[in-house]
Structure 1
Amino acid sequence: MCMGVTAGAYILTLFAMKYKQRVLGLILISPLCKAPSWTEWLYNKVLSNLLYYYGMCGVVKELLLKRYYSKEARGNAQVPESDIVEACRRLLDERQSLNIWQFLEATNERPDLSECLSKLHCRCLIFVGEYSPFHGEALCMTSKLERHQSALVEVQACGSMVTEEQPHAMLIPMEYFFMGYGIYKPVKLSVSPRSTLSPLCISPELLSPESMGLKLKPIKTRIPMKV
């Protein structure tokens, strides 16, 4: 059972397609599945050149943070940035510029997987933030996968790093995902789910902040309904 974020999700998707017997399920957060668009390619090239000539400067950090976190998390003149973004900023100072440069170059050269996703036979639970620059890729990936094998949860007011910004928004979808494998068993279950990703298992009502007892932005779900 594997979980990956952005480029990590891309690598795990490749792994699952190649080693089908070794992967039961995938939990993918803001996954990549297509070759970079010309805007992303140019964006990465600008970052690469800045890293090459200036190292981990302030501009590079801001561009990277913009890619992974929402405006709410990054803050503004009136609202301070969140603790998560502050921690990420400190971590970026500790990273070697060469490693980040190589990561961006590899990301820019990734092949398109969208037409090969039919080879992915394991079940997939996909999370994506509303403001993630990879939102379109998550939608594309969901459209290419078998409808009964995948579910997409869109988290509003969130960037690419759903795991960091709104981790509680992932709880109930993951509980029902694991339930289908017998990994998670609730004390009481009024419905016996036929499928991990069936509408009976993950409904918009269950994913509401009220049902979770949390103060979260609303969560949108895209789950195919049986006619």
Structure 2
Amino acid sequence: MEELAETVNDVFNHLDIKSAIAFGIGVGANILTRFALKYSSKVYGLILINCISRGLGWLEGFTLKWPTQDMPQQTWTDPLLTYLTWYHLGYESQSTHPDLVQALRRHLEENVNAKNVIKLLNSFLKRTPILMERPNESIKNSNPPKSLKCTVVNITGFSAPHKDDVIDTNDKCDPAMSSYVEFADCGGAILEEQPAKTAEAIRLFLQGLGYISHLSIPKYSIANRLTEQAAEYKRRNGPTSRAPRRTSAPFDAADSGLYGNDSHGEDTDDDQNDYGNELQLRVDSFEDRNVKI
């Protein structure tokens, strides 16, 4: 894994990249963490999904004996596909999203080179733990513990197979420079199961670093919906009432009058036109930052 981290540095040097915000999932997150520890000046921020910083434990090694017994054949086998499916999705997502299981297995068999995957898996199975510790201001030491110097966000799902590893990785990061994000109703395939929430978390992370500040919160985002729920709660219960943090009842846009009623065709058409115009402004804003949203 250390050699793969050095390969990332070779890519940076070849492309003359001074610094970057890195994004990694699973094994890629492990490699980028090692790279950021060794070349801290080249990493401005880290977005890590299901990052594993521990070494190979005896229980994991025992579990992998069956799926890796046919790896010398350098071809896809059912035990190997089963392990990779669990690695990406977890048990709960496999039972709730059978379509993802079929799509993943088909993608691996048809589009991915088995020999390359087996080589990468061999490196992952021989990995050493990432040696980093959370900084402790109370301990004055001439040799401070090795820790990430950049801003980090650790993302995982509630039922992800590597949730405990992500928590362990986050515990080793500087609390002032790191964030932990866990999505409910989500397994290991975060990008496939919760793409909207993942995109919003990444957007907020990048805006915290000073990028894409011209992008505002979408009109129908979760944050705006919760704000509208609070406003509707106060409208029904009085302006001095305090809205709960999250209302259990779904927000009824038609009843609130914020977006008009379906029985009034003109109001609905106007809202659709306004929403379409807003989408067009957002598209234009990617090309011209002077566009006001």
TM bin (shorter chain): 0.7 to 0.9
Contact 2:40–2:148, Cα closer than 8 Å, also in 1: yes
| Contact 1:31 1:138 (8 Å CA) reproduced | yes
Q: 1:15 aligns with which of 35, 55, 66?
A: 35
| Counterpart-to-counterpart distance in 1, 2:130 and 2:222 | 30
Given that 1:52 and 1:97 are in contact with CA atoms closer than 8 Å, whether structure 2 keeps it comes out as no
Q: Please, which of 149, 152, 157 is the counterpart of residue 129 of structure 1?
A: 157
CA distance in 2, matches of 1:167, 1:212: 22
Q: Which runs of 5+ in 1 are unaligned?
A: 190-205, 219-227
CA deviation profile, 1:98-152 (whole Å, cap 9, x unmatched)? 3222222211111111535643110001101222222111111111111110011
Letter in 2 for 1:86: Q
Any idea what SS the aligned residue of 2:185 has?
Answer: coil
Check 1:212–1:178 CA distance in 2 against 1; reply closer, same or farther (3 A cut): farther
1:176 deviation in Å?
A: 1.7
User: For residues 156 and 11 of structure 1, what CA distance do their matches in structure 2 show?
Assistant: 26
The residue that corresponds to 1:92 in the other structure is 108
Mapped to 2, the partners of 1:38 and 1:70 lie a distance apart of: 20
- Counterpart of 2:49? 29
TM-score, normalising length from structure 1? 0.74
Q: CA deviation at 1:46?
A: 2.4
Matched-pair identity in %: 24
1:145 to 1:34, Cα distance in 2 relative to 1, 3 A: same
Question: In 2, are the aligned partners of 1:114 and 1:144 still within 8 Å (CA)?
Answer: no
What's 2:79 paired with? Answer: 59
Q: 1:38 Cα deviation (Å)?
A: 1.4
| Code of the aligned partner of 2:129 | D
From the superposition, tell whether residues 170 and 187 of structure 1 become closer, same or farther in structure 2 (CA, over 3 Å): closer
Once the two structures are TM-superposed, the CA of residue 208 in structure 1 deviates from its matched residue by 7.0
Where does 1:188-199 land on structure 2 (aligned, <5 Å)? none
Q: What is the DSSP-based 3-state SS (H/G/I as helix, E as strand, rest coil) of the residue aligned with 1:24?
A: strand
2:121 is aligned, of 104, 120, 129, to: 104
C-alpha change, 1:132 and 1:21, in structure 2 (3 Å) is same
Q: In the alignment, what sits opposite 2:147?
A: 119
3-state SS, counterpart of residue 15 of structure 1: helix
Query: For the structure 1 residues 86 and 11, does the alpha-carbon distance in structure 2 shift closer, same or farther, using more than 3 Å as the test?
Result: same
Match of 2:209, SS state, is coil
2:97 and 2:148 mapped to 1: Cα distance? Answer: 42
Greater Cα radius of gyration, structure 1 or 2: 2
Determine if contact 2:25/2:49 at 8 Å carries over to the other structure. yes
Structure-1 separation of matches of 2:170 and 2:23: 16
- What is the distance in 2 between the residues matched to 1:131 and 1:155? 9
Classify 1:172/1:182 alpha carbon distance in 2 versus 1 (closer, same or farther; 3 Å): same
SS at match of 1:2: strand
Structure 2: distance between partners of 1:188 and 1:168: 15
Question: Does 2:136 correspond to 1:81?
Answer: no
DSSP-derived class of the 1:127 partner: strand
**Equivalent position SS for 1:145:** coil
The answer to whether the Cα contact below 8 Å between 2:187 and 2:193 also exists between their aligned partners in 1 is yes
* Distance change >3 Å, CA 209–CA 138, structure 1 → 2: farther
Q: Is 1:173–2:173 an aligned residue pair?
A: no
Counterpart of 1:143 in structure 2 is 171
Once residues 212 and 71 of structure 1 are traced to their aligned partners in structure 2, the CA distance between those partners, rounded to angstroms, is: 35
Is 1:154 matched up with 2:182? yes
CA contact (8 A) 1:30 1:161 kept: no
2:6 match: none
In structure 2, C-alpha distance between the alignment counterparts of 1:212 and 1:165, rounded to whole Å:
25
Alignment partner, residue 16 of structure 2: none
